[in-house]
Amino acid sequence: MSIKSPKICPQCGGPLREDAAGGLCPRCVMALNLKPETVVTGEPAAASAPRTPEELAPHFPQLEILECLGRGGMGVVYQARQPQLDRVVALKILAPERVTEARFADRFLREARALAKLNHPNIVAVHEFGQTGGYFYLVMEFVDGVNLRELLRGGRLPPAEALAIVPAICDALQYAHDRGIVHRDIKPENILIDKGGKVKIADFGIAKMIQAEADGDELPAGPEMGAAPTHDPTGVVGTPNYMAPEQAEKPGAVDHRADIYSLGVVFYEMLTGELPGKLLEGPSKKVQIDVRLDEVVLRALERKPELRFQQAGDVKTMVETIVGGVPPSGVPAIPAPGKFSWFLSPLTSPEVREIAAHLTRAERSDLVFLGLLWGLLVAVATFGNLWLLMSFPPPGNWIVASVIAALFFASLPTMNRTQRRLLASAAWAREHGYNVGNIKLFSFSRRNLRRGLIFLGAALLLIFGQLKLFTHLSGSSELSANLKEHSARLAAQAGRNHGMTGAPFVGVFSNGTVELMLVAADPASNTVCWLADGSPSSEPYPYTGGRVWAADKEVRAVAFRVHGPSSSPVLKFNKEIGTPSSVSGGFTDPKPLDAIFTEQFTCPSNLPTMDVQIGLANGPWETHMGVDPRGGSAENGDPDGNMWDIAVQTTGSGDEVAVACQYSIKQDWETRFVAVDTNGKVTTLRPKSQSSIGANLTSVMASMSRDEFEKVTGFQLQRRKRQWVEFRNVSLEPGHRTKVEILDATPGK
């Protein structure tokens, strides 16, 4: 025969009854509630040992003091018995070292008065309070049970248990708030559950009396209640992990909504088993619970009091509404939307997300089909109309686009009803009372609005990209020519050196392309022109005027189309043609993204082909050197071994100041002469005249107003590196067919 071992308390080792709540003896349960986690500002006195029951007995003849249960932040609690009433009570005495401190004595008396007003089944009752023998004391209800912290020791609670506890807490808080009392320290240690399962809030000892001067018991409560100053209006009171932000930031202005925040923390911890983090997420993101609880918890945890629930009763109402929509066995484990959530609109309401999470495979297929149909309508109404407007002439394009837009907007109510019918027909939705009339498709909560803004931003970027593509394909060039150019560019990116036997002849530089369009003989005489490989061209040469000439030389001209941001190009030819000083030309089209550049040059009459490089600069400007606004000179070298010089002279005594400058120019660099004012604004000086002094120096004459000059802090020489695209074996004679080679630009070289 086996002998049954007696049960013992795991905390203290004492005997344990069979029906002990939470597996602890009543003494240890009360001790857990008395852990001194509450923060109270002020200089604490040195702690002394609690008085023994024998030392206290002469001062409390009406009680039998049985034992000391524990010590809290403000007092010591004993288990006692009232013989006349034959009941066990809890005796709370202000910590002996606090008795001489007026701040804590006043707080203790305020606690007693506050608790004396509270008579509610979910609040630990106060039977008596007073002062005797130098001790301030409270005689309170003894709760034989366990606190919420002990229940949470094993992790989160089942959702059904959490949803049963929260309404009772809300009832107690609403009752206290209606009487102008704020708890200010709601936490699991202060929430007790007795053996019968009744929830009770303990330790209103740090409660803040909102209107202590009022004569009546009933005091108004609500967001408009004033925060009357307490004895310590700047003191921070509460437990850090559960305090509302305003308790730490503005402790003198705390009202009842601080308790709602703390309730939100406790609710979150019950559902997830952990405290909210800095990056707050709904509980359904961590555990499988009803997604509708996210809105309740997150609203209670709003940092700004005005955005929270304004009454504890509102929290209870929402929780009971959620509980009322589920089977009696408790809140079901609803999977958080995952695989299917990508298909839902960012403004989708919580009930639609919940129904979607419970769809069967067939029901989900129907919803996907409806979503694809809806997406097709949106695409036709947006991108289709955009294509019509850009591809066809008015007014026909506008008429067709308007008809499509009208049909789209007319279909919106039908699509809305169809989607609600489909959701309401789902098996899970029917079981839980959803119908076409009570399903709200969209919710404009703060979280959904954030999702919507992100989605809208992505959609605008997509539309902008499509618009840029359409603009590129339907710009000044023919569509087929643009497609060929794009294909040539892709081919160019596949290898740095590629041969071309047919137009267009396109090279690539950073952020753009350059096409060698035409070669011509003496364009001033309007003669025939040809392509780079010698084949005939049907386009006329874009002649810009002017002419070059040299004895025993042939006159030729070349035209380029530059697509992309760049400055004025420069050309380099093979040695038989000569240096850039023997060429002349310029832009024929001022458009920055698609401009035609022409050059005339001379070459030997028997030269069949040439190699030509075009240099383009489109990167950021860098300041290489500068001088004082009164004038001066400077010189500097660079890592490539080039020497740079700048000399500036300013003259003028009237309203205009003349600025003369000489500065270095290099073939591989584009340069400019700028002025910098006191605000850091950079202004390029437009020359009245400009001339070259040799191959590497230029002289500029410019002017500026006296007011502009007075703001100048210095003149600078700025530069940026040119990139070179090379075209080899370019035919100099019509009909002389060649295979043109193109070397794309290498960035940074």
pLDDT tens per residue across span 196-218: 889 999 877 554 433 333 333 33
Instruction: Determine the 3-state secondary structure of 321 from DSSP.
Output: helix
Tokens of 553: 């030389």
Burial profile 577-590: b = 16 or more Cβ within 10 angstroms, e = fewer: bbebeebebebeee
Q: Is residue 7 part of a domain?
A: no
Say if residue 733's pLDDT is above 50.
Answer: yes
Say if residue 302's pLDDT is above 60.
Answer: yes
Across 262-266, 288-292, 426-430, 500-504, least confident range: 500-504
Considering only residues 14 and 443, tell me which one the structure prediction assigns the higher pLDDT: 443
Say if residue 4's pLDDT is above 50.
Answer: no
| Under 8 Å between Cβ of 35 and 77 | no
Q: Is residue 495 part of a domain?
A: no
Q: Is residue 656 part of a domain?
A: yes
Residue 327 pLDDT:
36
Band of the pLDDT at 323, cuts 50, 70, 90? confident
- What is the C-alpha end-to-end distance of the chain, expressed in Å? 96
Q: Is residue 15 part of a domain?
A: no
Q: Do 648 and 730 belong together in one domain?
A: no
| Under 8 Å between Cβ of 247 and 234 | no
Q: What is the pLDDT of residues 326-351, one digit of tens each?
A: 433 333 333 333 444 445 666 677 77
Residue 698 pLDDT:
87
Say if residue 573's pLDDT is above 60.
Answer: yes
CATH number of the domain where residue 715 is located:
2.60.40
Q: Tell me which residue has tokens 């036997």.
A: 501
Q: What is the pLDDT of residues 644-663, one digit of tens each?
A: 888 888 888 778 888 999 88
Q: What angle separates helix 446-473 from helix 479-494, to the nearest 10 degrees?
A: 100
Band of the pLDDT at 466, cuts 50, 70, 90? low
Q: Do 710 and 679 belong together in one domain?
A: yes
Say if residue 353's pLDDT is above 70.
Answer: yes
Separation of alpha carbons 239 and 33, rounded Å? 13
Burial profile 432-459: b = 16 or more Cβ within 10 angstroms, e = fewer: bebeeeebeeebebeebeebeeeeeeee
Diameter of the chain by CA atoms? 135
Q: Is residue 18 part of a domain?
A: no
Q: Do 318 and 352 belong together in one domain?
A: no
Residue 581 pLDDT:
39
Q: Do 244 and 161 belong together in one domain?
A: yes
Q: How many domains does the chain have?
A: 5
- Helix (H) / strand (E) element for 459: namely helix 446-473
Burial of 319 (0-12, 13-18, 19+ CB in 10 A): buried
Q: Do 81 and 163 belong together in one domain?
A: no
Percent of the chain with pLDDT over 70: 72
- Give the amino acid at 371: G
- Please list the residues that pair with 237 across neighbouring strands: 40
Across 69-78, 260-269, 610-619, 678-687, least confident range: 69-78
Q: Do 237 and 290 belong together in one domain?
A: yes
| Under 8 Å between Cβ of 488 and 729 | no
Q: Is residue 55 part of a domain?
A: yes
Band of the pLDDT at 38, cuts 50, 70, 90? low
* 13-17, 209-213, 460-464, 706-710 — most confident range: 706-710
Q: Do 208 and 228 belong together in one domain?
A: yes
Say if residue 408's pLDDT is above 70.
Answer: yes
Q: Do 268 and 202 belong together in one domain?
A: yes
Considering only residues 219 and 544, tell me which one the structure prediction assigns the higher pLDDT: 544
Separation of alpha carbons 749 and 325, rounded Å? 70
Across 21-25, 228-232, 299-303, 580-584, least confident range: 228-232
* 266, 292, 324 - which closes a domain: 324
Residue 94 pLDDT:
72
Q: Do 626 and 667 belong together in one domain?
A: yes
Any long-range contacts for 42-50 (C-beta under 8 Å, 24+ apart)? 42/101, 42/103, 42/104, 42/232, 42/235, 44/97, 45/97, 45/98, 45/100, 45/101, 46/97, 47/95, 47/97, 48/95, 48/96, 48/97, 50/76, 50/96
Q: What is the pLDDT of residues 379-394, one digit of tens each?
A: 888 778 777 776 666 6
Catalytic-role residue among 144, 171, 178, 185: 185
Residue 220 pLDDT:
34
Band of the pLDDT at 500, cuts 50, 70, 90? low
The arithmetic mean of pLDDT across residues 568-577, rounded, is 84
Residue 319 pLDDT:
92
* 93-107, 592-606, 694-708 — most confident range: 694-708
Residue 244 pLDDT:
92
Say if residue 13's pLDDT is above 60.
Answer: no
CATH number of the domain where residue 58 is located:
3.30.200.20
Band of the pLDDT at 585, cuts 50, 70, 90? very low
* 292, 324, 356 - which closes a domain: 324
185 in catalytic set: yes
Q: Is residue 576 part of a domain?
A: yes
Quick one: DSSP state of residue 454? H
Which residue range is the domain that position 217 belongs to? 156-324
Q: Do 379 and 275 belong together in one domain?
A: no
Residue 483 pLDDT:
40
The arithmetic mean of pLDDT across residues 486-515, rounded, is 63
Across 417-426, 472-481, 514-523, least confident range: 472-481
The arithmetic mean of pLDDT across residues 254-262, rounded, is 93
Q: Do 170 and 131 belong together in one domain?
A: no
Instruction: Determine the 3-state secondary structure of 350 from DSSP.
Output: helix
Question: What pTM did the predictor assign?
Answer: 0.42
Task: Report the residue count for the chain.
Answer: 749
Q: Do 135 and 165 belong together in one domain?
A: no
Residue 342 pLDDT:
43
* 297, 324, 351 - which closes a domain: 324
The arithmetic mean of pLDDT across residues 313-325, rounded, is 86
* 346-360, 404-418, 547-561, 666-680 — most confident range: 666-680
* 1-5, 96-100, 143-147, 574-578 — most confident range: 143-147
Q: What is the pLDDT of residues 110-145, one digit of tens each?
A: 777 777 778 899 998 888 888 888 888 889 899 888
CA-wise closest residue to 77 among 56, 59, 104, 46: 56
